Structure 1
Amino acid sequence: MKVILVNNYSMTAQWEFWLKENYQCPSHHLWGATTLPKYGIHVDILPYEKYSLLKKISQKLKIFGDLDQQLRILFLNSEYDAVYSGHHLTTALLAFLRAIGIFKKPIVAIAYQSFQKKLSSQLYTKLFLKGHDKLFCLNNEIKDHLKDEFDIPAHKLEILEWGTDLPYYQVKNINHEDEAECSSRLILSIGKTYRDYDTVIKAFSQINCHLKICAYGNSLFSDTSGLPSNISIIEKSLSWQEILAAYQEAYAVAIPLNIRQDKPYNAIGLTTLLEAMSMGKAVVMTSNQFVGIDVEKQRIGIFVEQGDVQGWQQAISYLLEHPDETREMGNRARRLCEEKYNLEVFTSRLSELLKDVLRSQVL
């Protein structure tokens, strides 16, 4: 079986980075491209950009997805058994053409967000999403929302939980009980997509503990002047080894989210959550049911409501005051990744789903 992989960001850049690092970095952001071959599925990655004009048109007319990639696929489709999209909005036009019988190859896509229920989004899903042969939803919440609110047929929706390339997340045991003061413990907050760093900065101004924020792009911060001495912000892009070192150093991980009202059904924060879990770290996270992992039910962390400064103070203070429980939260998180949220489990399930789609074309 041979598939062509596209996404809403450059898969070729991810692949080249992986090669540059001599395979010594995680590859889960390639969505199975590095691991599917062991299941007899060859993956070719379509270069992200060829025609800049089509890219610009796509940015203006987002409802059609990435026209640059999709129109090139129209001339390549005979070479592949299926189109595999890492983002279900990227292949919107192809899905429409598939629905009306023009595009003949099956199309499958990862779905990690849904939409507000309104006339425009209902029309959009009917025209541009239902044409996918399968949508691989990262969790039940997204699957149920697409099915119940937008009437996407249940047989087109499958659960495909993501996971990290676990061997590259090396856990080192740190005895936090030996630390003399809470102030010597480090809370790490990392990431740049839909982050609410203003709230967590306000919270840590009243906590005797060091907060390190790693976020490439200073537009995330409304005002960084006069920061308390216990808060440091790293605004440069970090290498994989630097990211790994930051996680290893951390006592726990903070994931403050800004869940926008116009985009409330989105698995934002999932990448950082999975990385923290892989590193065996307890988390404090803005509540987001669409991330698909209930950190409190799984006893791996604490949820805080969006914008709740006092809630952040209470949650971080609880972890600092209970080092044994914090360590156990981290241990449970790591075990969850070993059992479920890892690239091997993801790829095994993905390979089954892809082969099922191809078999259904033969019947």
Structure 2
Amino acid sequence: MTTQTTPKYHVVLSRPFDLEQFAKNAQQDKCPRHTMWTLAQKLGATVHQPGQHPISPADRFLSKLMGGSLPEHWAMARAMSKQVGKNDIIFSIGEDSGFPIATVCGAKVNRPKMAVFVHNADRPRSRVAMKLFNLANRVDVFMTNTQVKADFLQNYLGLASERVYLVTEQTDTQFFTPGLASADKKRPIVGSGGLEQRDYCTLAEATQDLDLDVKICAVSPNAKAIADTFPPVLPKNMSRGFYDWPDLRQLYRDSDIVVISLKPHNYQAGFTTLFEAMSCGRPVIMTRTPGLAEELAEAGIITGVNAQDPQGMRQAIVDLLNNPEKAKAQAQRGYELVQGKYNSEQYVDGIANQLMSLEPEQELILAY
């Protein structure tokens, strides 16, 4: 006869985070839902996070050797290795925690199944680590969010296509919704946000003499990153600061246009801001980058501009401001796209289905 072994699921975070409190805040409309909480609830998974286990000298050495990981990640991996076996399925939200877990737990005779979301593996130390720690044979599914990264993983590690899962981007369409602009709004607003690969110098040059306000949600303790991202002196009509979740949503609602100005790069920065803005029903201007941004621009869902082209960005902004029906139609196309394809539900379901496909096969037991 056959017996069904119930798999045990584990969701591993890259940094300490109170998912339960975040979920309570989401229920009160203070923030979007966290996809890792939703995933854990869907699978009945145990959530693990670094910082709860003693660190050994070996943990410190291995974190330096691998690069991108912390000693806390290795300490967590050692602790988990004592708890998991062949009936366990582990999902790590980042390679910083996932690669140590795959290294340590993958060495077990009856090792668990493992999936790792890879954000940036095409770095010298990461390349070496993946080969040195034999991760191609210890991670069952590599997940990532761009075709460029997926192709790199498949080619560099010699993986079959079914072992690399391309995760679609997402936003919480229940939190980021269209709404009324603030009553005290005095003139047009160009909104923006984020720091990764951002080029606010071009945005400043494009808008500094226009009759509008530029408001940016971007704060970082890293002064070098700020200096590299913003002009030395902000134009009088530009401001940046911290926005909590409801205020960020209101910034989108207040914005006549959301502009995502990016440095030249070959992966897809800026998509969190893009999908939040489209979910709020706002038209978006975005620097063209290879992949989805280029596809959306060609489809007329966003307005694409070339990198480091302030004149082209200025023309795009003025064009949408002077043609509100065009801006409204573009915003509607973006809103429908996010609602249908880039929502949190499809994101969680996609990852969950991949993890459930790793469930151990039923065991055959002979009864006498």
Q: TM-score, normalised by structure 1?
A: 0.81
The unaligned stretches of length 5 or more in structure 1 are none
2:214 is matched with 211
Match of 1:248 among 249, 253, 256: 253
Residue 334 (structure 1) aligns with:
335
Contact 2:40 2:46 in 1 (8 A): no
For 1:185-334, list aligned pairs within 5 A. Answer: 185-217=188-220, 219=223, 220-222=225-227, 226-234=233-241, 236=242, 238-258=243-263, 264-289=265-290, 294-334=295-335
Which piece of structure 1 moves more, 207-216 or 300-309?
A: 300-309
Contact 1:114 1:266 in 2 (8 A): no
Cα distance between partner residues in 2 of 1:58 and 1:300: 45
Distance (whole Å) between structure 2 residues aligned to residue 90 and residue 293 of structure 1: 32
Distance 1:159 1:211 in 2: 34
Q: Which deviates more from structure 2 when the two are superposed, residues 18-27 or residues 88-97?
A: 18-27
Sort the Cα spacing of 1:195 and 1:52 in 2 relative to 1 into closer, same or farther, 3 A. farther
Q: What is the match of residue 50 of structure 1?
A: 52
Whether the 8 Å contact between 1:85 and 1:91 is mirrored in structure 2 is: yes
- The 3 A distance-change label for structure 1 pair 359 and 240 is same
1:155 aligns with: 162
Q: Within 2, Cα distance between the matches of 1:361 and 1:197?
A: 55
Deviation, structure 1 residue 265: 4.9
Return the alpha-carbon distance in structure 2 between the equivalents of residues 323 and 80 of structure 1: 57
Identity of aligned residues (%): 21
The size of the alignment, in residue pairs, is 345
**Paired letter, 2:50:** Y
Tell me how far apart the structure 1 counterparts of residues 363 and 291 of structure 2 sit (CA, whole Å).
Answer: 35
In 1, Cα distance between the equivalents of 2:92 and 2:177?
30
CA deviation after TM superposition for structure 1 residue 345, in Å: 1.3
1:211 deviates by 0.8
Asked if the contact 2:260/2:286 (under 8 Å) is kept, the reply is yes
CA distance in 2, matches of 1:48, 1:100: 20
Contact 1:112 1:137 (C-alpha < 8 Å) held by counterparts? yes
Does residue 9 of structure 2 align to residue 3 of structure 1? yes
Contact in 2 for aligned 1:140/1:292 (Cα 8 Å): no
Give RMSD over aligned pairs. Answer: 3.3
Cα distance, 1:73 vs. partner?
1.6
Match of 1:13 in 2: 18
- In the alignment, is the contact (CA less than 8 A) between 1:6 and 1:69 conserved in 2? no
Contact kept, 8 Å, 2:177 with 2:281, in 1: the verdict is: no
Shift in Å at residue 201 of structure 1? 1.5
Is structure 2 residue 351 aligned with structure 1 residue 350?
A: yes
Q: CA deviation at 1:191?
A: 1.5
Aligned equivalents of 2:345, 2:177: Cα separation in 1: 17
* Contact persistence 1:5–1:43 (CA under 8 A): yes
Q: Distance in 2 between matches of 1:290 and 1:33?
A: 29
Distance 1:52 1:314, change over 3 A: farther
Quote the offset at 1:56 in angstroms. Answer: 6.5
Looking at structure 2, the residues matched to 135 and 105 of structure 1 have their Cα atoms a distance apart, in angstroms, of 15
Question: Which 5+ residue runs of structure 2 have no aligned equivalent?
Answer: 1-6
For residues 93 and 203 of structure 1, what CA distance do their matches in structure 2 show?
Answer: 45
Deviation at 1:107, TM superposition (A): 1.0
Q: From the superposition, tell whether residues 272 and 69 of structure 1 become closer, same or farther in structure 2 (CA, over 3 Å).
A: farther
Q: Which amino acid aligns with 1:343?
A: S
Aligned residue in 1 for 2:150: 143
AA matched with 2:173: L
2:116 is aligned, of 99, 109, 118, to 109
8 Å contact 2:260–2:274 — kept in the other structure? yes
Write the distance in 1 (CA, Å) between the matches of 2:351 and 2:286: 28
Give the Å deviation of 1:253: 1.0
